[in-house]
Structure 1
Amino acid sequence: MDIAEVLTLADQLIFAKTGKHLDYVQDAILRGTLEDATYTQIAQEVYSSPSHVRNVGSDLWKTLSKGLKKNITKNNFRAVLEKGIVYNYQSAIVENIRGESITVNNKVNVCPEKVRSPKTPQNPEPTAKQPRIDLGDAPEISTFFDRKSELTTLENWILSRTRLITILGLSGIGKTALTLQLIPQIQHEFDCIIWRSLHNAPPLQILQTDIIQSCRGGAPVPALSVPEEGATTGGLPQKERATTGGLPLQYLRSHRCLIILDDVQTIFSSQQLAGNYQPGYENYGTFFKQIVESCHNSCLILISWEKPREIAALENQQKNCQTLQLNGLGEATREIFIEKGLLQSEKWSELIDLYQGNPLWLNTVAAAIQDLFSGKVSEFLSYDSLVLGDLEYLLNKHFQRLSDSEKQVMSWLANQNKPVEISKKPALLELSPSEFLKAVESLRRRLLIEKVQKGDRTLFAVQRAIAEYLNS
């Protein structure tokens, strides 16, 4: 049984019915089914949840069933193949995108360009490009909420050849889940897709070597040669070029690659203003700048709690550099409360507002409500102050990174009853006007304060959960 031929046939049929090629999850389901793997085992291979893989599989079998006019399921797919039904299913006439159909040599021709005369040579449908996908550092995501508009925005940026995309958001907001959901939609645009986490703050050269080795399918990476001091290449000293991106850029030019870097905030210094690199990590900034300004067709996605300092200036080149700020979800997060078995659904909207629709925050709070109040939301809400519980640990990771000036500004904002203007520095803060404004700007980059527009007035505030944490 030729798995490659099965996948090619399935890809052509899916394309004929949907206008889209097999994505990497569908590919893994077909391969896994042929190897008698369970949905749970397949989910582990693609770093997804069993429920998501099961849902994708259900849609896949329905599409194959319609195309072959035969009931196809995960349980009978191998049997169908062994009977030769996929290859020699003479009575099945598969419709192409325009509703035309044809069978050739007793085989199903699922995606003919048009019905041709038997004398006309047939050009076979090109095999779908199967990118090399390395999601070695990607976490498993059990739940994904509706982010259709954000997915469309990211897909459009990638199709328009944006070179660097930054996805910003507080912890738990869904940045990683969104990016994992994006991969199946755009994978056929790339030769290889690589996911790496910067959680352990790898030096740039080690990261680049790892990425290139993955691009080369595990082959050893050629050594970087550094000419004599003072030699230049491409406007940069060769020594700097060798340590910031000379060799990786060669691969980004010769291959269309998607590189995803998660946890980018870990290469920035704590207790300093946002976006300041740790000592020895400044070359990351040069690398990001090169990605935007150099000529290539690849794309780098950064996932971070805070924006790198270079990005603000690079965003002026809108075609090459874009930023997506991910905010909280609305009513879609009710799924969390259903899963946790919370009661009194009429109170759920209040919970969503209090915790700004952050999926992780709401999941944490819902678990506490179930444990402490047997799922009764009204009893939880009866407390005068906002209950944080385990959420304090999550917020503490953000506040450990703040500078002294940022802490002063956050404390001041947390004690305001409503959004306030910053046209004048508060007298009680022991900061110069310049230090005050820099702190506000830095907190905005960290997404810890919100800007509220009221008419021609620009006001600032902190979310209630964050204010409660600061005042606790």
Structure 2
Amino acid sequence: MDIAEVLTLADDLIFAKTGKHLDYVQEAILRGTLQDTTYTQIAQEVYSSPSHVRNVGSELWKILSKGLKKDITKNNFRAVLENGIVYNYQSTIVEHITGENITVNKNLNVCREKVRSPKTRQNPQPTAKQPRIDLDDAPEISTFFDRTSELTTLENWISSRTRLISILGLSGMGKTALTLQLIPQIQQEFDCIIWRSLHNAPPLASLQTDIIKFLSQQQETNPPNPPLSRGGEEIQPPYPRRGEGIQPPYPRGGEEIQPPSLSPPLSKGGLGGVIDYLRSHRCLIVLDDVQTIFSSQQLAGNYQPGYENYGTFFKQISESCHNSCLILLSWEKPREIAALESHPKNCQTLQLNGLGESAREIFTEKGLAESENWSKLIDIYRGNPLWLNIVSAAIQDLFSGKISDFLFYDSLVLGDLEYLLHQHFQRLSDSEKQVMSWLANQNKPVEISKKPALLELSPSEFLKAVESLRRRLLIEKVQKGDRTLFTVQPVIAEYIKTNILYQC
């Protein structure tokens, strides 16, 4: 049974029905089905959730059923193809392209034999050049929940050649998982893709040197770990690791951090060199943990001393003429972004909110009872995947999965969430802490048209603190008619009251 021919046929059928080619999840489902792989195993391979893969599979079988004029399911797909020692299927696909009918004929020969590697097929056809990908700094993600609308938004921005994209969200919201899920869907649009974490706050000069080393090898061919491809080439792990001998210039494993250069050169070895490569090749650069280059105990988006040149870097990426893209993942918005967003072609921001009802999958996996209380739990914890996983584990451990017993307590039980929230709150300035404590002690959303008298802040300091907290995503805006109100999430309010940052 030739997997390459099956994929080609399926791609033609899907394109005829939808105008789109096989995506990487559909291709993984077809390959897995031919190899008797379960949806759960396929989901692990593509770093997605079993329910999402199952939904994609359901739509895939419907399309193939219409195209082949036979009821197709995952269970009978192999049997349909193996109907007889050799089954010749003649497909005639009529497409309407610029008003003309074009007929494409395909002959598919399916034989009773073990699935052989596409590498061993006779007369292999040349394939399109694959992008070089280095995701060495990217973490491994075991689960991904449905983020269809967010993925569509990001795909549209990338297709529109948006140069700078910020994905913002509290820790655990799924920024990294979303971006890793995005890459296989858009990788064919790029010549090269590189992922770097700023967790250890590397100086800009070191980061630029590292990026240029990778981009300067773009002319190399036959990368050792090609990404998912179409047309029968062997499928590789969706997130290849570094295999090209590039060593990170920045120290890892807790080694001493060298003081950053205050003004790295903007010549071929610095920012100018990066821009040159972004112009000569279509590149995607992902920078994770961007919040680490910002100062703590100051208003949001202020850079640490010596890291101000990152602001120049982001600004020039957005404003220079090129077809590449830089994606920033952060807890808070860089201060330059607000001004750059006035030109949507150059800069866009996606604020990642919590999961909706798809978060129920977490409760199913944790074995929680009382499904009638699941929506309430999602609302309290604002659908944050990590928060819900932590709380679900605690409910299962302490209350045998009974949510009602957990909710019986007068105050929320934070448990291990306190450590996660502490990472956010230790970054706040004195004025932000005052505003957060005031909001946490309000029984309902409030207006900010007037500064509360009990806060020892000037009106200007008060408004700056509110704006900074919005950039950190720590307060929520509620629209009630023509009134704009502000509040804090229940979990954050409980953390503030428990830790008594300020009594207001």
| Aligned-partner Cα distance in 1 for 2:292–2:330 | 9
> Residues 161, 34 of structure 1: CA spacing in aligned structure 2 closer, same or farther, 3 A cutoff?
same
- Which residue pairs with 2:166 in the alignment? 166
**Contact persistence 2:387–2:417 (CA under 8 A):** yes
Structure 1 residues 34 and 338: alpha-carbon distance in aligned structure 2, compared to 1, 3 A threshold = closer
In the alignment, is residue 375 of structure 1 matched against residue 401 of structure 2?
yes
Cross-structure match for 2:156: 156
The equivalent residue for 1:204 is 204
The 8 Å contact of residues 167 and 304 in structure 1, kept in 2 or not, is answered as yes
Pairing of 1:265-304 with structure 2 (within 5 A):
265-304=291-330
Q: Does 1:250 align with 2:276?
A: yes
CA–CA distance in 2 between the matches of 1:346 and 1:220? Answer: 52
Contact residue 47 and residue 139 of structure 1 kept, 8 A: no
- CA spacing shift, 1:168–1:84, aligned 2, 3 Å: farther
Asked whether the 8 Å contact 1:64–1:72 carries over to 2, the reply is no
Matched, 1:190 2:190: yes
The alignment's TM-score, normalised by the length of structure 2, stands at 0.73
Cα separation, partners in 2 of 1:196 and 1:185, compared to 1, 3 Å:
same
SS in 2 for 1:413: helix
Higher deviation after alignment, 2-11 or 372-381? 2-11
Of stretches 138-147 and 297-306 in structure 1, the one that deviates more from structure 2 is 138-147
Note closer, same or farther for the CA distance 1:324–1:287 as it changes in structure 2 (3 Å cut).
Answer: same
Root-mean-square deviation (CA, aligned residues, Å) is 3.9
Gaps of 5+ in 1: 109-124, 222-236
Mapped to 2, the partners of 1:53 and 1:149 lie a distance apart of 16
Instruction: Give the whole-Å Cα distance in 2 for the aligned partners of 1:94 and 1:127.
Output: 24
1:221-240 map, 5 Å: 239-240=265-266
- 1:418-457 Cα shifts (integer Å, max 9, x gaps): 1222222222222222222211111110000112222332
Mapped contact 1:25–1:184 kept (Cα < 8 A): no
Question: 1:134 is matched by which residue type in structure 2?
Answer: D
Q: Could you tell me whether the CA contact under 8 Å between 1:15 and 1:21 is conserved in 2?
A: yes
Q: CA deviation at 1:19?
A: 3.9
- The yes-or-no answer on 1:453 pairing with 2:451 is no
**Equivalent of residue 335 in structure 1, options 353, 357, 361:** 361
State the distance in 2 between where 1:413 and 1:146 align. 32
Letter in 2 for 1:197: S
C-alpha distance in structure 2 between counterparts of 1:31 and 1:285, whole Å: 45
User: 1:397 — aligned with what?
Assistant: 423
SS at match of 1:421: coil
Question: Which residue in the other structure is 1:234 paired with?
Answer: none
Distance 1:6 1:170, change over 3 A: same
1:366, distance to aligned residue in structure 2 (A): 1.0
Higher helix content, 1 or 2: 1
The separation in 2 between residues aligned to 1:244 and 1:282, in whole angstroms, is 15
- State the partner residue of 1:466: 492
Return the offset for 1:293: 0.5
Amino acid at match of 1:317: H
CA distance in 2, matches of 1:126, 1:282: 47
TM-superposed CA distance for 1:299, in Å, is: 1.0
What's the secondary structure of 1:322's corresponding residue? strand
| TM-score (norm. length: structure 1) | 0.77
Q: How big is each residue's C-alpha offset from its partner over 1:201-235, in whole Å with a ceiling of 9 and x where there is no partner?
A: 222222223333333354889xxxxxxxxxxxxxx
Partners of 2:85 and 2:301 lie apart in 1 by: 60
Contact map agreement 1:421 1:459 (CA 8 A) in 2: yes
| Aligned ranges 1:357-368 → 2 under 5 Å | 357-368=383-394
Give the whole-Å Cα distance in 2 for the aligned partners of 1:262 and 1:415: 34
Task: Give the number of equivalent residue pairs.
Answer: 434
1:290-329 aligned at under 5 Å gives the runs 290-329=316-355
Deviation at 1:369, TM superposition (A): 0.8
Kindly provide the amino acid, as one letter, of the partner of residue 267 in structure 1. Answer: I
Structure 2 unaligned blocks of 5 or more: 110-124, 221-243, 248-262, 499-504
Between 1:291-300 and 1:415-424, the stretch displaced more is 415-424
Distance (whole Å) between structure 1 residues aligned to residue 63 and residue 411 of structure 2: 52
Compare 190-199 and 18-27 and name the one that shifted more: 18-27
Decide whether the 8 Å contact of 1:48 with 1:140 is kept in 2: no
Q: Describe the SS at the equivalent of 2:477.
A: strand
Q: Which moved more, 1:13-22 or 1:175-184?
A: 13-22
Q: Do the aligned residues in 2 keep the contact of 1:49 with 1:140 (CA within 8 Å)?
A: no
Deviates more, 1:252-261 or 1:20-29: 20-29
CA contact (8 A) 1:347 1:378 kept: yes
Q: Give, in angstroms, the shift of residue 107 of structure 1.
A: 7.3
Distance, in Å, in 1 between the alignment partners of 2:39 and 2:29 is 8
Q: What is the DSSP-based 3-state SS (H/G/I as helix, E as strand, rest coil) of the residue aligned with 1:300? A: strand
User: What percentage of residue pairs aligned between the two structures are identical?
Assistant: 79
| 1:17–1:96 Cα contact (<8 Å) kept | no
The reply on whether 1:409 has 2:435 as its aligned counterpart is yes
